[in-house]
Amino acid sequence: MIELFLIPWSPYCLVQQRILEAGRVPHRTVNVPPNDRSAVWRLSRQRYYQVPILRDRRTVVFETDENSQVIAKYLESKFDLALFPPQWDGLQRIVWRYIENDVEALTFRLNDAHYREFLAPVDHLAYIRHKERKFGRGCLDSWRANQKSLVAELTALLLPFEQMLGTRRFLLDDRPRFIDFDLWGMLANFLYTGRYSLPAIHPKLRAWHGRMSRIKLADAKK
């Protein structure tokens, strides 16, 4: 059985988990403590410490760079999920960079602002230290104080996806491709604490999100 090692609220982990669920791929998830990546380090033979990481019996799969999509492509090739059809190759690469840079930069800040709701108190200090070393002292408090403006920025960034859904059920055509799952994962991270909702100004995106939360890829082929 496939094992997905993850941090439950990580947007990139949520992408792969939704792909596995939508593909009806038998799997189990293994939670990785956010402040202890030793299991991932051992599993990757000291080559990788980030999440997600996937183990399929003796095969261990992880990303090779920030835009590689190695895990999703592995699942695509093994289970015929039609996530990366050749006609969309270049366009998907452009769009997933936008999703994983511009969109994710806001969704993770909005989620992390409420870290106390998904982290045990014993993990707070290490989490604050990690974030402040990367984003500056007081970053978490700043994101929480400025969440209204961050949501407004995110709403603006989501407009192209609302427009893309104006004439089709999914972002590119009549079935979900990789960028559908990629965007879903970023938004699942944004919605993780229940503090936020998708912008009412984007009704097509809200309807798409409902479809993506329920979709089974075998049914989408029909």
Q: What is the pLDDT of residues 96-129, one digit of tens each?
A: 999 999 999 999 999 999 999 999 999 999 999 9
Q: Of 135, 130, 104, 105, which Cα lies nearest the Cα of 119?
A: 130
In this prediction, residue 221 carries a pLDDT of 59
Walk me through the domains of the chain, giving residue ranges and CATH numbers. 2-79 (3.40.30.10), 86-220 (1.20.1050.10)
The residue behind tokens 């769009």 is 95
pLDDT at 220 > cutoff 80: no
User: pLDDT for 29-77, tens place per residue?
Assistant: 999 998 899 999 999 999 999 999 999 999 999 999 888 999 999 999 9
The pTM is what? 0.96
In this prediction, residue 66 carries a pLDDT of 86
Run of H or E including 154: helix 147-157
User: pLDDT for 74-95, tens place per residue?
Assistant: 999 999 999 999 999 999 999 9
45: region left, alpha or beta (phi > 0 left; psi from -120 to 50 alpha): left
Number of continuous H segments (helices) and E segments (strands) in the chain: 12, 4
Residue 206 confidence class, pLDDT cut points 50, 70, 90: very high
User: pLDDT for 120-173, tens place per residue?
Assistant: 999 999 999 999 999 999 999 999 999 999 999 999 999 999 999 999 999 999
For the segment 199-218, the average pLDDT, to the nearest whole number, is 96
Pairwise CA distance, residues 94 & 54, whole Å: 25
What are the DSSP calls for 88-118, one per residue? GHHHHHHHHHHIIIIIHHHHHHHHHTTGGGT
Pairwise CA distance, residues 104 & 154, whole Å: 9
